């Protein structure tokens, strides 16, 4: 019975997201035509994320170890267990921001418009694609735009309950090269409301707890410190995760 209700809620959630995506699409399209209006584009997807969360009964509850500075750009590094994660980070991120994600998202009808404009697709199997993606991200950071990235690279569908998987190196080298603080974000129990895309276990309304760690400064680090920085962010994120 509970399983059936979760599948019904998943179908309802997909319907709500699709309806709001259709409604917002003309506004997304107009705002995506010029980098000067990317701030508006982010504002629109932040608003859509809040509306979708409200109507599907998902309540993101943020705990900040330290307030984030207005006007400061960051690299947000977050564990990845659910389709809710993008919605959560849209709500969390301040100012101008963009995502880096797998190139397959260019085929996603809801996300394609973003990954052809403001966001950065990367082919995980191509070193050249990764090089170009991080070069573009570096330019955006220099221009004051925050970067949101899931350093695991994917949702690990072989682990349920989820387990934090090893991180890719790129975000940490980039943070050091550009002197941008990293914000570690622990999505502690979001997978309980929806794991991955919800196909296997469905979804449910509920509270998702998000712990936002104190920004880690990188200005005093060198490239030789990138592995240590990666391990530090991994440990911070993992310290708040719920696996039961």
Q: What is the pLDDT of residue 189?
A: 94
Mean pLDDT of the residues in the chain = 92
For 81-113, the pLDDT digits (tens) are 999 999 999 999 988 999 998 888 888 888 889
Q: Is the pLDDT of residue 158 over 90?
A: no
Q: What is the pLDDT of residue 144?
A: 92
Q: Is the pLDDT of residue 179 over 70?
A: yes
Q: Is the pLDDT of residue 165 over 80?
A: yes
Mean pLDDT of 183-210: 94
- Check: CB of residue 153 under 8 Å from CB of residue 161: no
Mean pLDDT of 223-230: 94
Mean pLDDT of 4-21: 95
Mean pLDDT of 7-32: 95
For 124-139, the pLDDT digits (tens) are 778 888 889 989 999 9
What is the C-alpha to C-alpha distance for residues 87 and 236, in angstroms, rounded to an integer? 22
- The two most distant CA atoms of the chain are separated, in Å, by 55
What is the bridge-based pairing of β-strands 182-187 and 206-212? antiparallel
- Check: CB of residue 65 under 8 Å from CB of residue 216: no
Strands (DSSP E) found in the chain:
58-64, 75-78, 97-102, 120-122, 146-149, 182-187, 206-212
Please name each of the domains of the chain with its CATH number: 1-239 (3.40.1130)
Span between the terminal Cα atoms of the chain, in Å? 21
Q: What is the pLDDT of residue 88?
A: 97
Q: What is the pLDDT of residue 244?
A: 58
Q: What is the pLDDT of residue 20?
A: 96
Mean pLDDT of 14-40: 94
What is the C-alpha to C-alpha distance for residues 94 and 102, in angstroms, rounded to an integer? 23
- The pTM (predicted TM-score) of the whole model is 0.93
Residue 209 sits at the vertex; the CA angle it makes with 205 and 213, to the nearest 5 degrees, is 160
For 35-83, the pLDDT digits (tens) are 999 999 999 999 999 999 999 999 999 999 999 998 899 999 999 999 9
Q: What is the pLDDT of residue 95?
A: 87
């Amino acid at each position: 019975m509970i399983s059936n209700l979760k599948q019904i809620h998943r179908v309802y959630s997909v319907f709500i997201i699709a309806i709001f995506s259709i409604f917002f699409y003309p506004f997304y399209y107009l705002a995506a035509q010029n980098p000067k209006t990317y701030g508006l584009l982010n504002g629109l997807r932040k608003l859509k994320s809040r509306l979708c969360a409200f109507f599907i009964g998902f309540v993101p509850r943020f705990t900040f170890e330290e307030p984030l500075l207005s006007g400061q750009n960051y690299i947000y590094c977050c564990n990845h267990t659910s389709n809710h994660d993008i919605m959560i980070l849209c709500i969390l991120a301040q100012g101008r921001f963009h995502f880096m994600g797998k190139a397959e998202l260019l085929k996603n009808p809801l996300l394609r418009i973003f990954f052809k404009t403001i966001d950065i697709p990367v082919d995980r199997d191509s070193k050249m694609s990764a090089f170009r993606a991080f070069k573009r991200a570096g330019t955006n950071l220099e221009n004051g735009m925050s970067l949101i990235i899931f350093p695991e690279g994917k949702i690990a569908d072989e682990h349920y309950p989820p387990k934090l998987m090893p991180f890719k190196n790129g975000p940490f080298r980039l943070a050091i090269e550009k002197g941008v603080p990293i914000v570690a974000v622990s999505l502690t129990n979001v997978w309980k409301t929806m794991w991955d895309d919800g196909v296997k276990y469905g979804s449910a309304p509920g509270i998702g707890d998000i712990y936002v760690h104190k920004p880690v400064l990188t200005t005093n680090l060198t490239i030789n410190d990138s592995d240590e920085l990666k391990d530090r962010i991994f440990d911070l994120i993992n310290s708040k995760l719920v696996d039961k």
